[in-house]
A and B are shown apart, each in its own frame.
Chain A
Amino acid sequence: MNPLKLYCLNKEFKHQLTNSRARLFRVAFSWSHQSDVADDLVQETMAKAIKYARQLRDKNAMESWLFGIMANCWRDYLRKQKPMDDIDDDLLSHNDTPEQHYERQDIVDLIQNTMSELPIGQRQVLSLVELEGFSYSEVAEILSIPVGTVMSRLSRARKQMAEKLLTQAQAKDHIKTLRRVV
């Protein structure tokens, strides 16, 4: 490849990588709900992306490639945390007491808390579809799971979110706030 073309490709790669950084963080945060963990995940993802840049054959596939790297980093992180658990069945315990939880008035906190209670596999699928707008087949590729699993996890995730959020919202009269955002 001629050096000029290589230089341009590199430049475009770095530009796209920089542009994706904030989006990677947002999704990493929706998986971990800890800013420092999300930041580490993004840094690790970017370092790996630069290291393995040559593996990316189709620059149009860069988005799903990047999120795929991050999904691997997240899997590694979870393995280090809880080596014996299958991440699909892993329900994270909640730090708040039920009283604190129900006292939260902020709808954003409420949604994030509910999301953080989802099993990790479901949470990953939900955030990739909702926040990044990936298609089911792209999510399947990113997480290395079958499309059918993407569909069932997404379905279970939304159902669980609806059961918890819509009931809680009505109970706490949050519904007025919700109407403004829907």
Chain B
Amino acid sequence: MNDNTSFSDEMLNAYLDGELEADERAQVLQALRQDEDLSRRVCELQKIHNMVQLAYQNTALPEGYETANASSPGKRNFAIAASVFLVLGAFFSGWIAHNFNQAQTLIELAQEVRNNQPIAADDHWRLVLHLSTDDKYRMNVALNEIDRLLADSKRTQQKVNVEILANGKGMNMLRADTSAYAGRIKSLQEKYDNLLFQACGNTIARMKKEHGLDIQLLPNTQIVPSALGQRIKRQKEGWTYIHI
């Protein structure tokens, strides 16, 4: 099964789109480690994926659509959320509010936030993304962008650590019984050891108390006592914080 030709284009596409079952995904991953030609095929498909997203992310909206700057909901929501939380963040870490409406992607936005922070002496970028919604679009954007950031940083040997902190509805992404992203998250965890998924202990306790749910999390998910506490801790430690 590890022969390059045994993987159809359909299967490689399904691999990229997170549509394969765990065993099939494992087969592709295993083959990717050994087969340069297969890696090249997947890389090309990934490039097309990024290019199509790039080509339409700033589609000009006609007059009368919500805001002139809102080329995509993700961009707008990320920008608004970050601006709001920056104001809160300023209280903890003295960040300077900035006009983020020009930021193109989640990571570019995070980079703008980082530019307004003191840079760590070792040039190590530590980023925490706080997810409190189960909006599929935002989750997809977040996972895609994180994948891209970590792949880039691996290639350029830039030191980066990313934590994805989930609470409230965002927990759906990390619950073994509800997550539509189990395969995707597993593959990201296998690819990057500098990516950590964290779940809010308070949310877990509340769901048990209010709904009698005994939540099982995806493998390798860390539980923190409280998402809010973790966020404040990380901000004090100089992490870049983005609420998505």
Binding site for B on A (CB under 8 A): 18-23, 25-26, 29-30, 35-36, 39, 63, 107-108, 111-112, 115, 126-127, 129-133, 135-136, 151-152, 154-155, 158-159, 161-162, 165-166, 178, 181-182
Q: A63 CA to B141 CA in the complex, in Å?
A: 16
Chain A residues within 8 Å of B10, by CB:
151-152, 154-155
Interface size on B, residues (CB 8 A): 38
Contact between chains at A162 and B47 (CB < 8 Å): yes
Residues on B with beta carbons closer than 8 Å to the beta carbon of A35:
60, 62
Among A20, A36, A108, A133, chain B packs the most CB atoms within 10 A around the CB of: A133
The CA of A107 and the CA of B10, in the complex, are separated in Å by 27
User: From B41, which residue of chain A is reached at the shortest CB distance?
Assistant: A162
In the complex with contacts A22-B73, A136-B14, A165-B48, A181-B54 CB distance below 8 A: yes
Contact with A along B139-162 (1 / 0, CB 8 A): 011000000100000000000000
Could you tell me if A18 and B55 are in contact, using CB atoms closer than 8 angstroms? no
Q: Is the interface of B mostly helix, strand, loop or mixed?
A: helix
Closest chain B CB from A160 CB (angstroms): 9
Query: Inside 8 A of A131's CB, which chain B residues have their CB?
Result: 52-53, 56
- Quick check: A21 and B65 within 8 Å, CB to CB? yes
**Whole-angstrom CA separation of A73 from B47 in the bound complex:** 31
Residue pair A22, B70 in contact (C-beta under 8 Å)? yes
Give chain B nearest CB distance to A120 CB in angstroms. 16
User: Number of contacts between A and B (CB, 8 Å)?
Assistant: 105
Contacts of B60 in A (CB 8 A): 35
Contacts of A20 in B (CB 8 A): 73
Complex partner residue of B72 from A22, A166, A182, CB under 8 angstroms: A22
Are B48 and A161 neighbours in the complex by a CB distance under 8 Å?
Answer: yes
Tell me whether A158 and B48 are in contact (CB under 8 A).
yes
Chain A binding site: helix, strand, loop or mixed by DSSP? Answer: helix
A contact residues around B55 at 8 Å (CB): 107-108, 111-112, 115
- Which chain B residues numbered 125 to 150 have a C-beta less than 8 Å away from chain A? 136-137, 140-141, 148
* A161-B51 CB under 8 A given contacts A22-B65, A135-B19: yes
Flag whether B45 is at the interface (Cβ < 8 A): yes
Chain B contacts with A in 105-133, Cβ cutoff 8 A: none
Interface string of B56-73 (1 = CB under 8 A from A): 101111100110001111
A75 to chain B, nearest CB (A): 21
Q: Are B56 and A127 in contact (CB under 8 A)?
A: yes
Question: Which residues of chain B have a CB within 8 Å of any CB of chain A?
Answer: 8-10, 13-14, 17, 19, 44-56, 58-62, 65-66, 70-73, 76, 136-137, 140-141, 148, 180
Which residue of chain A lies nearest to B70 when distances are taken between CB atoms in the complex? A22
- The CA of A178 and the CA of B52, in the complex, are separated in Å by 12
Q: For A133, list chain B residues within 8 Å (CB).
A: 136-137, 140-141
Given contacts A26-B59, A158-B13, A162-B48, contact A130 B65 (CB under 8 A): no
A165 contacts across to B, CB distance below 8 A: 48, 51
Name the distance in Å between B169's Cβ and chain A's nearest Cβ.
12
Q: In the assembled complex, how far is the CB of residue A34 from the closest CB belonging to chain B, in whole angstroms?
A: 11
19 intermolecular pairs with C-beta atoms under 8 Å apart: A21-B65, A25-B62, A29-B56, A107-B54, A108-B55, A111-B51, A112-B56, A126-B52, A127-B52, A127-B56, A130-B49, A130-B53, A135-B17, A135-B19, A151-B13, A151-B14, A152-B10, A158-B9, A166-B44
